[in-house]
Amino acid sequence: MLDNPAELDEAIKAAEGVGDDRIQQRSQGRIDPESWTHGSAEQRKSWFLTGFNSQDPTQCDTFTEVL
């Protein structure tokens, strides 16, 4: 469990930092959503917070969201 707001902010930034959009921008200088495999920074933040706030892993089923 994260003990303070600074730790939560760090965890959110880590989740966002490995979003496909951020990685592509850094490595290729452009963003191609059609090639994403792990979601955007915003999607990763959203799902992280869904799990964190609910404390229920079943709430993090991203696959049912896209069906």
pLDDT reported for residue 53: 92
- The set of residues, in sequence order, having a beta carbon less than 8 Å from that of 8 and lying 6+ positions away, is 2, 52
Boundaries of domain holding 13: 5-66
pLDDT in tens, 46-61: 999 999 999 998 888 8
d(CA 50, CA 46): 6
pLDDT at residue 1 greater than cutoff 70? no
**Domains identified in the chain, total number:** 1
Would you state the structure tokens that stand for residue 18, as one six-digit string? 């490995």
pLDDT reported for residue 59: 87
What is the pTM for the complete model shown? Answer: 0.82
